């Protein structure tokens, strides 16, 4: 007599066996019993939600955020009021005809006060605008403002007298500090970070909601199916007991 050999099942085989046992598959490949039918229905519905969620997530990942180098030539909006500080007058005066009104203000306080109207757009140095928002506005106000970068460069420099005898030495050391990155580090350490919205491509909210719905549906469905399965067993044994008594 030969002793049968037993092999350990893989998790895939165990899962398939559990599904087959739960669904009570027969020759007709049709689940019998309300609990089994409910499991089948929930499985199909969950697969649909997972598929649509996966498709939505892949679509959101493939969306390309194309960054355009906007300039003042792109601002061709009719009846638009342009508000700008005096320091940018020379940069935008040649585009004055693009706007219905071009108004210059003395400081950034006046600029932000005039942005409450929908047809107003403000233009100013990026660093100045960012630091004003960080120091004077709340988080909700910062996130409510839409900003865009223009390809207008604002340079920073060090001032010294033209006839300064130390001019060459100062220039040499300033260049050395700039090349070593120390100046940039000092400037960044003295600037407060600006709160921004996360607009990076990734899983969309629709995809996450679909996957979450599928998981909740699966957990709730398994619980409901187990309740019906237990009730079917109770009814089966109750009916079997009555038939045995009648016999």
Which residues, including other chains, have CB under 8 Å from residue 114's CB and lie 6 or more apart? 81, 83, 103, 105, 120, 122
Angle at which helices 182-189 and 167-180 cross, to 10°: 70
Report which DSSP code applies to 88: G
Question: φ, ψ for residue 20 (rounded to 5)?
Answer: -65, -40
Q: Which of 38-52, 70-84, 162-176, 215-229 has the lowest mean pLDDT?
A: 70-84
Show the beta-strand stretches assigned E in 23-167.
81-85, 101-105, 120-122
Per-residue pLDDT at 142 = 75
Q: Higher model confidence: residue 80 or residue 3? A: 80
Per-residue pLDDT at 66 = 43
Per-residue pLDDT at 215 = 76
Per DSSP, the three-state class of 134 is: helix
Q: What is the pLDDT of residues 81-107, one digit of tens each?
A: 778 887 777 766 666 666 666 778 888
Taking residues 193-219, report their average pLDDT. Answer: 62
Share of the chain above pLDDT 90, in %: 0
Ranges of each domain in the chain? 13-65+200-217, 72-154
Tokens of 190: 């003295």
Distance CA 197, CA 143 (A): 7
Q: Which of 10-14, 46-50, 69-73, 216-220 has the lowest mean pLDDT?
A: 69-73
Which residues, including other chains, have CB under 8 Å from residue 98's CB and lie 6 or more apart? 72, 75, 76, 80, 82
69: confidence class by pLDDT, cuts 50, 70, 90: very low
Distance CA 26, CA 29 (A): 5
């Amino acid at each position: 007599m030969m002793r049968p050999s037993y092999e350990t099942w893989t998790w895939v085989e165990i899962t398939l066996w559990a599904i087959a046992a739960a669904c009570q598959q027969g020759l007709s490949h049709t689940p019998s019993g309300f609990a089994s039918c409910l499991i089948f229905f929930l499985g199909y519905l969950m697969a649909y939600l997972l598929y649509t969620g996966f498709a939505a997530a892949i679509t959101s990942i493939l969306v390309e955020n194309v960054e355009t180098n906007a300039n003042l030539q792109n601002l061709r909006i009719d009846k638009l009021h342009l508000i700008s500080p005096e320091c940018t007058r020379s940069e935008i005066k040649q585009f004055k005809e693009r706007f219905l009104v071009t108004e210059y203000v003395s400081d950034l306080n006046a600029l932000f006060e005039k942005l409450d109207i929908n047809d107003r757009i403000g233009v100013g140095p990026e660093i100045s605008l960012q630091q004003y928002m960080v120091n004077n506005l709340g988080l909700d106000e910062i996130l409510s403002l839409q900003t865009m970068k223009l390809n207008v460069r604002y340079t920073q420099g060090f001032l010294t007298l033209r006839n300064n005898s130390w001019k060459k030495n100062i220039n040499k050391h300033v260049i050395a500090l700039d090349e070593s990155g120390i100046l940039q580090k000092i400037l960044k350490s003295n600037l407060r970070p600006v709160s921004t919205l996360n607009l990076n491509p990734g899983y969309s909210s629709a995809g996450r909601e679909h996957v979450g719905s599928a998981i909740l549906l699966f957990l709730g469905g398994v619980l409901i199916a187990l309740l019906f399965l237990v009730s079917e067993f109770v009814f089966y044994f109750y009916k079997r007991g009555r038939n045995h008594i009648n016999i």
